[in-house]
Amino acid sequence: MHAATAPPESSDPIVSIIADSSCRDAGVCKTDSDCENAATCFRGVCLCPKDFLGEKCEFNPRASRAYMPDIDPNESPSHCLKSLQWEDGLRSLLSRIQQLQFPPACNVDTAMVFEMPKHGLGANMHYVTVALNRAMKLNKAMVLSGEWTYALYAACNGRGHACHFEPYSNCSHPSQQLSDAVVYPRNDFSYSPDSDYVPPQWDYHGVLWYRSNLMHWFLRPNAELEAKIRLARNTLGLRDRFVGVHVRRGDACVHASTSAIRPPCSETEEYISLVERMRSQYSVSKVFLATDDIDAMNLFSKAFGKDLVALNMDRSVFEGRWFIEYRLIHGVVDAGVVTESTLIDLFLLRESTFFVGTFASQFSRLAFEMLVANKGYVPPYASVDYPWCFHYLEQREIPGFGTRFC
């Protein structure tokens, strides 16, 4: 056994100041040997190495599909120091993203151009984080080329990503400055084998921290979208603790039933069982449901009654065998209704206290990652299928499911 040691000095002075003045001994550990996975015991708290979490750093989110500790991490005596550990380096990461994405001049030396795919929102955003990660590795801005699928309606007036979000760069494509730039196509995976790459200065945080914060930065809602989110939150009464749930059906289940690369959709009762467990274990009653399926909505209503809230919308628009994204592109559905309901669902899930979803779904993973970055810690969560995974453009081992694309 060896004596507890302090973690390295914070790269952010305010973090050190707060740590010195605010965080008390949590009494969880006395020495490093009381912690797991080579964690450091500091002021009675097990400070976890990258990609581990939990009171004693016993949990690996890439190996298990549920994280439901005995104590809500937000109420744990360890929360103060663990929160500071999370924040350490975050300001420098966000500053670096901003610096690279808004260069003094836009040209092939300062920017990389990536084709914007026409997939679902979750898949597109995971593609974007791979592209942003690659551009950051080469000290360049990431620039997207092509139409933003979720802005193909009149109210967006051709604004693309900026229709809903804060600008991600001062560079654009096509433009005169980037007329000679190579456009990396969406099916060219030559830049993706380093999807778990984290720049050295933030590597100690691991992939979940890094990728979640990249995603959260890229999807900063603009004032117009923020107002719609606030209105939905207030009208649904989402002011206190609640369980956020994502149940994906529709075209995703049609695809899963014929796919060799993703598991079949889980029964709605499996989600309900996990929600009931969350409610019981953490003494929370309210449930927010984001789903494209009328039957799932009915089953949840029967199970949770007045404790269930959801957007009041016509979910029949999502029914069909054709991917909803293709129906958006071809004008088969009301793009405004689909887009805004999807985004509001996403941002309400981001504000949940606990999460239940399906990590075989890109949207569920997106919502979870946004939630993690928004809270500054990993809350209790459960997936009905995959554990959390990130290797969007690569085949890797997913525990319990073999080698799969994530």
Report the pLDDT value the prediction gives residue 21, as an integer from 0 to 100. Answer: 57
Strand 45-47 to 40-42 pairing: antiparallel
Residues 389/98, Cβ–Cβ less than 8 Å: no
47, β-bridge pairs: 40
Average pLDDT (267-293) is: 96
Q: Among 270, 233, 242, which Cα is nearest to 357's?
A: 270
Cis peptide before 399 (omega within 30 of 0): no
256-273 pLDDT, tens digit each: 555 666 778 899 999 999
356, β-bridge pairs: 245, 382
Of residues 191 and 276, more confidence is placed in 276
Q: How many residues are present in the chain?
A: 406
Which two structure tokens, joined as six digits, stand for 11? Answer: 């790269």
pTM, rounded to two decimals? 0.91
Average pLDDT (292-310) is: 95
Average pLDDT (314-320) is: 65
Q: Give one DSSP letter per residue of 262-293, joined into a string.
A: SPPPPPHHHHHHHHHHHHHHHT---EEEEES-
Report the pLDDT value the prediction gives residue 147, as an integer from 0 to 100. Answer: 82
For helices 90-101 and 121-137, what crossing angle results, to 10°? 90
> CATH number of the domain at 222-405, please?
3.40.50.11350
Question: Cβ of 393: how many Cβ atoms within 10 Å?
Answer: 19
Model confidence at 179: pLDDT above 80: yes
Report the pLDDT value the prediction gives residue 3, as an integer from 0 to 100. Answer: 37
* Integer CA distances (angstroms), 255 to 172, 248, 374, in order: 34, 12, 31
Q: What is the mean pLDDT of the chain?
A: 86
* pLDDT grade for 12, boundaries at 50, 70 and 90: very low
Domain boundaries, the chain: 13-88, 91-215, 222-405
Residue with tokens 């628009």: 317
Model confidence at 320: pLDDT above 80: no
